Amino acid sequence: MSSISKEQAPRITSEQVEHIAKLARIELTDQEKEKFTSELSSILDYFGKLNQIDTSKVEPINQITGLKNVVRKDESKDNISDARDKILDEVPSKKGDYYKVPKILE
């Protein structure tokens, strides 16, 4: 694996750092702008090295834990309506199949 030369690697400009800082709503000194320009460029250099790795024989992975989504069929249960009726019989105030509550907004 060869390293990317500085001429090939994308460089971050001071203007781009200023734009990123503006989006993040942070103020940077000239010294910080220079520091982040260098650091962000180094990060891009590293990604350039990663792009050189041959991954053509590597299978894509979309799940690493081995867990499976276990779902059941969504079915209505007969006793649910009985339970709903029992609950509605116990509420202090109802209208049809709904709880009636005091109005809170005018």
Predicted pLDDT at 9: 55
| Count of Cβ atoms closer than 10 Å to residue 11 Cβ | 13
The three-point CA angle 32-35-38 to 5° equals 150
| More confident site: 91 or 7 | 91
pTM above 0.75, yes or no: no
| More confident site: 67 or 20 | 20
Model confidence at 5, in pLDDT bands (50, 70, 90)? very low
Range list of H helices, 26-77: 30-51
Tell me how far apart the alpha carbons of residues 49 and 1 are, in angstroms, rounded to a whole number. Answer: 8
Tell me how far apart the alpha carbons of residues 94 and 57 are, in angstroms, rounded to a whole number. Answer: 65
